[in-house]
């Protein structure tokens, strides 16, 4: 009999340190497990607790799943001290993910903040895998400081790809940093996209998502073409436990990706 | 095939007691100790030779407590797949119309959507509901204001309506029909005059309840959604929350509230997921890792409860998630009254207009 709460076993094969408080956990599920980019999973520390995360790896890789996690609470702090080769539990995937087919032929304008680049990396891998289907992929990424940038070694490689345009910025620079300094909105001023055929995708901390969304609307993006990755304390992942309600939606089941058009009349979406 | 029968009170008692042979039977019992105003009825397991009590109104416990537990194990993991234990076959006697109406929300949550909750479904399938007409009402009862009648018309297996020295028995499902067949010696087809008698009793109670509710000027079903939406910024939420002690009682006693939290634990080298009822009036209900909390203020949490009931469920199911049972009013140590909250929204919004 199917038990909807039962996680399957996954081996923690590797832990990659991204920043002082962000690590990427490489998992090998023991049973078949696949996801669409933008969907999330519930990751269990056996007998201890679980928390929701969106994988950061290429959904095309059916063997391994990367999950990039910032140390924030009880479960994530324990994960950060976990040794390799232990068994974790994984269940899902949950939610709807990014509607890639709606992005075909378009300029895909991606705006990420901090560890919000994690789910976006999974999206980027999906876009890169079929880059001919898109007109252009633009990434604008902001982090607090150069030390807080995730995937430092990979971003320069992505920049070399055809049809890909990437700019990063940091709120506060340091002695070695020669790039942009300023909030994310400072590098959104003249996006190299054709607004008539552009979609925007935003993922980051709530305050960043708020100001980026306002900026995108200001630039003339259509509310129905702004895709937001929303987050709350999803517990069951199935639209039953009630925690992640946002207006008349559940983030776990109806999202976690929503268009701004869907949410524009919902109160307090950025809280 | 008849689907309305008559059974005498003595035979009903015998019938229910005989069901104990194949079912765990729950029937309400009057709680007379500490009784100040009106008698409360509470479910208990029916013992051998005990008298079956027909409760005039709904029991204290919500119907949901038979289908999800306040705290229970929902699975083990990293262990060989164990078949779910078949829940015991259960008869619940004394369920009322409000409970059945409210339980539709629980069914929607656990039986529909992206996945079916297996444990819930099995319990539902193994449970027989023998409901009854209300013959009286509590001070807090207000089913009629949500357009719910004080007698059920659907959602039961058998329904009892007291008449003279017995009961009219209506069959509401195949499960109910099978019971009648199995115990056919107790049931005789109801006569038209008896069915007319049932109607008269029902109408008389509705009339009495309507006259009781009329002066209360309650918010109407069709207005509730608009009120909670347009009342987003009113001070009603702060005002009514001043006396809230955050006990979660209103959530736990509610027939429609369904929120739960999953937790993990290890017991005898086995990993387990535990499901426990959760309450949106609790301070940490919406807290996320790192401590951010979108429902930090108590007023936000009260508003969250009301928008869930009257906006979310109207949009998603076309029903308000309140059945007028009044349990939350009775349970609240802060005397927060759902009828008064809605009326306050209505009053303040009408002044604004």
Give the pLDDT confidence score for residue A194 in this predicted structure: 96
A245/B312 touch (CB, cutoff 8 Å), yes or no: yes
Quick check: A163 contacting B, CB < 8 Å? no
Let me know whether A43 and A153 are in one domain.
no
Give the pLDDT confidence score for residue A172 in this predicted structure: 96
Chosen domain end from A94, A110, A131:
A94
Q: What CATH number corresponds to the domain at position A23? A: 2.40.30.10
DSSP label at B297? Answer: S
In a domain, A256, yes or no: no
A240/B117 touch (CB, cutoff 8 Å), yes or no: yes
Position B353 confidence tier, pLDDT thresholds 50, 70, 90: low
> What strands lie across the sheet with A226-229, from one edge to the other?
A180-181, A164-170, A136-143, A107-113, A198-203, A226-229, A257-259
Mapping DSSP onto H, E and C, the string for chain A reads CCCCCCCEEEEEEEEEECCCCEEEEEEEECCCCCCCCCCEEEEEECCCEEEEECCCCCCCCCCCEEEEEECCCHHHHHHHCCCCCCEEEEEEEECCCCCHHHHCCCEEEEEEEHHHHHHHHHHHHHHHHCHHHCCEEEEEEEECCHHHCCCCCCHHHHHHCCCEEEEEEECCCCCCCCCEECCHHHHCCCCCCCHHHEEEEEECCHHHHHHHHHHHHHHCCCHHHEEEECCCCCCCCCCCCCCCEECCEEHHHHCCEEEHHHHCCCCCCCC
Give the pLDDT confidence score for residue B268 in this predicted structure: 87
Q: What CATH number corresponds to the domain at position A177? A: 3.40.50.80
A235 interaction partners in chain B (CB closer than 8 Å): 260-262
In a domain, A247, yes or no: no
Let me know whether A56 and A157 are in one domain.
no
Search chain A and give the residue with CA nearest B270.
A47
Quick check: A89 contacting B, CB < 8 Å? yes
Residue A39, both tokens: 């969907």
Residue span of the structural domain in which A155 resides: 100-229
Distances (CA, A) of B270 to A269, B70, B164, B234: 39, 21, 57, 50
Let me know whether A128 and A192 are in one domain.
yes
B285 interaction partners in chain A (CB closer than 8 Å): 243
Domain count, chain A: 2
**Res B165 pLDDT > 80:** yes
Nearest CB among A45, A51, A242 relative to B259 is that of A242
Chosen domain end from A69, A94, A119:
A94
Quick check: A1 contacting B, CB < 8 Å? yes
Q: Contact B77/A90 with Cβ under 8 angstroms?
A: no
Nearest CB among A46, A236, A245 relative to B262 is that of A236
B78/A2 touch (CB, cutoff 8 Å), yes or no: no
A270/chain B closest Cα distance in angstroms:
9
Quick check: A195 contacting B, CB < 8 Å? no
Q: Contact A182/A152 with Cβ under 8 angstroms?
A: no
B107 interaction partners in chain A (CB closer than 8 Å): none
pLDDT in tens, B148-163: 999 999 999 999 999 9
Rounded Cα distance between A175 and A120, Å, is 28
DSSP label at A131? Answer: G
Q: Provide, for chain B, the percentages of residues in helix, strand and coil under a 3-state DSSP scheme, each rounded to the nearest 5.
A: 40, 20, 40
Let me know whether A195 and A107 are in one domain.
yes
Let me know whether A124 and A77 are in one domain.
no
Position B290 confidence tier, pLDDT thresholds 50, 70, 90: confident
Quick check: A157 contacting B, CB < 8 Å? no
Let me know whether A75 and A187 are in one domain.
no
Give the pLDDT confidence score for residue B99 in this predicted structure: 97
pLDDT in tens, A82-134: 999 999 999 999 999 999 999 999 999 999 999 999 999 999 999 999 999 99
Let me know whether A152 and A204 are in one domain.
yes
Decide the pairing of beta strands A257-259 and B158-163.
unpaired
Q: Which residues contact B341 (CB under 8 A, 6 or more apart)?
A: B236, B240, B302, B306
Give the pLDDT confidence score for residue B2 in this predicted structure: 58
Quick check: A86 contacting B, CB < 8 Å? no
Q: What are phi and psi of B168, to 5 degrees?
A: -80, 130
Q: Nearest Cα to A106, choosing from A230, A199, A228?
A: A199
In a domain, A239, yes or no: no
Rounded Cα distance between B336 and A219, Å, is 47
In a domain, A264, yes or no: no
Give the pLDDT confidence score for residue B34 in this predicted structure: 64
Report B:240-259 residues touching A (Cβ under 8 A). 258-259
In a domain, A30, yes or no: yes
In a domain, A53, yes or no: yes
Rounded Cα distance between B78 and B76, Å, is 7
**Res B1 pLDDT > 60:** no
Rounded Cα distance between A69 and A16, Å, is 10
ipTM metric: 0.93
Omega of the bond leading into B326 within 30 degrees of 0 (cis):
no
Rounded Cα distance between A174 and B34, Å, is 71
Quick check: A52 contacting B, CB < 8 Å? no
Helix (H, G, I), strand (E, B) or coil at B37: coil
CB pairs under 8 A between A and B: 118
pLDDT in tens, B172-214: 999 999 999 999 999 999 999 999 999 999 999 999 999 999 9
B308/A242 touch (CB, cutoff 8 Å), yes or no: yes
Q: Contact A36/A49 with Cβ under 8 angstroms?
A: no
Residue B73, both tokens: 């194990």
Let me know whether A114 and A198 are in one domain.
yes
| Prediction pTM value | 0.94
Let me know whether A109 and A224 are in one domain.
yes
Give the pLDDT confidence score for residue B36 in this predicted structure: 66
In a domain, A112, yes or no: yes
pLDDT in tens, B70-82: 999 999 999 887 7
In a domain, A1, yes or no: no
Give the pLDDT confidence score for residue B291 in this predicted structure: 87
Search chain B and give the residue with CA nearest A53.
B289
A6 interaction partners in chain B (CB closer than 8 Å): 75-77, 273
Let me know whether A111 and A225 are in one domain.
yes
A105/chain B closest Cα distance in angstroms:
31
Q: What is the mean pLDDT of chain B?
A: 95
Give the pLDDT confidence score for residue A170 in this predicted structure: 97
Search chain B and give the residue with CA nearest A240.
B109
Q: What are phi and psi of B339, to 5 degrees?
A: -65, -40
Q: Contact B219/B323 with Cβ under 8 angstroms?
A: no
A253 interaction partners in chain B (CB closer than 8 Å): 113-114
Chosen domain end from A94, A129, A157:
A94
Give the pLDDT confidence score for residue B126 in this predicted structure: 97
**Res B37 pLDDT > 80:** no
DSSP label at B163? Answer: E
Let me know whether A109 and A182 are in one domain.
yes
Nearest CB among B75, B265, B286 relative to A3 is that of B75
Residues of chain A with pLDDT under 50: none
CA pseudo-torsion sign B250, A241, B147, B205: negative
Residue A22, both tokens: 């962000």
B260/A4 touch (CB, cutoff 8 Å), yes or no: no
Give the pLDDT confidence score for residue A243 in this predicted structure: 97
Let me know whether A23 and A111 are in one domain.
no
Nearest CB among A89, A243, A248 relative to B311 is that of A248
């Amino acid at each position: 009999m199917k038990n909807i709460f039962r996680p399957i076993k996954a081996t923690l094969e590797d832990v990659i340190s991204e920043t002082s408080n962000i690590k990427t956990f490489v998992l090998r599920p023991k049973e078949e497990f696949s996801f669409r980019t933008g969907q999330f999973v519930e990751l269990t520390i056996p007998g201890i607790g679980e928390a929701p995360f969106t994988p950061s790896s290429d959904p095309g890789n059916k063997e391994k799943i990367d999950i990039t996690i910032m140390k924030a609470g009880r479960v994530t702090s324990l994960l950060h001290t976990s040794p390799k080769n232990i068994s974790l539990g994984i269940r899902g995937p949950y939610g709807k993910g990014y509607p890639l087919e709606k992005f075909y032929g378009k300029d895909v304008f991606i705006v990420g903040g901090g560890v919000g680049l994690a789910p976006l990396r999974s999206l980027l891998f999906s876009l890169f895998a079929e880059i001919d289907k898109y007109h252009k992929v633009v990434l604008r990424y902001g982090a607090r400081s150069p030390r807080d940038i995730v995937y430092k070694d990979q971003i320069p490689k992505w920049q070399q790809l055809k049809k890909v345009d990437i700019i990063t910025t940091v709120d506060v620079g340091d002695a070695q940093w020669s790039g942009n300094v300023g909030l994310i909105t400072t590098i959104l001023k003249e996006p190299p996209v054709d607004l008539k055929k552009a979609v925007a995708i935003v993922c980051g901390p709530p305050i960043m998502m708020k100001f980026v969304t306002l900026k995108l609307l200001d630039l003339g993006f259509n509310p129905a073409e702004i895709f937001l990755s929303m987050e709350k304390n999803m517990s069951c992942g199935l639209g039953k436990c009630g925690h992640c309600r946002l207006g008349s939606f559940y983030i776990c089941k109806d999202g976690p990706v929503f268009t701004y058009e869907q949410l524009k009349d919902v109160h307090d979406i950025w809280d | 095939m008849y689907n309305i029968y008559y059974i005498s009170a003595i035979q009903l008692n015998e019938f229910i007691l005989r069901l104990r042979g194949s079912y765990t039977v729950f029937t309400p019992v009057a709680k007379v100790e500490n009784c100040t105003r009106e008698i409360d009825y509470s479910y208990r397991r029916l013992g051998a030779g005990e008298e079956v009590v027909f409760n005039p109104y709904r029991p204290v416990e919500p119907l949901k407590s038979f289908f999800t537990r306040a705290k229970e194990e929902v699975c083990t993991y990293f262990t060989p797949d164990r078949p779910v234990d078949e829940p015991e076959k259960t008869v619940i006697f004394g369920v009322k119309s409000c409970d059945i109406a409210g339980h539709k929300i629980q069914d929607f949550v656990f039986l529909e959507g992206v996945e079916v909750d297996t444990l819930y479904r099995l319990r539902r399938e193994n449970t027989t509901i023998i409901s009854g007409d209300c013959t009286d009402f509590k001070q807090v009862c207000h089913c009629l204001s949500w357009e719910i009648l004080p007698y059920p018309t659907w959602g039961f297996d058998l329904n009892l309506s007291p008449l003279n020295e017995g009961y009219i028995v209506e069959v509401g499902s195949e499960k109910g029909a099978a019971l009648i067949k199995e115990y056919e010696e107790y049931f005789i087809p109801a006569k038209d005059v008896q069915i007319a008698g049932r109607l008269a009793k029902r109408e008389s109670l509705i009339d009495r309840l309507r006259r009781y509710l009329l002066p209360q000027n309650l918010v109407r079903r069709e207005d509730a959604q608009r009120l909670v939406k347009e009342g987003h910024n009113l001070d009603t939420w702060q005002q009514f929350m001043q006396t809230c002690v955050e006990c979660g009682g209103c959530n736990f006693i509610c027939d429609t509230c369904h929120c739960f939290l999953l937790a993990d634990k290890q017991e005898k080298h086995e990993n387990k997921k535990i499901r426990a009822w959760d309450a949106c009036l609790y301070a940490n209900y919406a807290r996320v890792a790192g401590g951010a909390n979108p429902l930090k203020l108590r007023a936000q949490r009260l508003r969250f409860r009301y928008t869930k009931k009257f906006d979310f469920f109207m949009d998603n199911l076309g029903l308000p998630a309140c059945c007028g049972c009044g349990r939350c009013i009775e349970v609240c140590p802060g005397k927060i009254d759902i009828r008064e909250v809605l009326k306050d929204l209505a009053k303040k919004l009408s002044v604004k207009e």
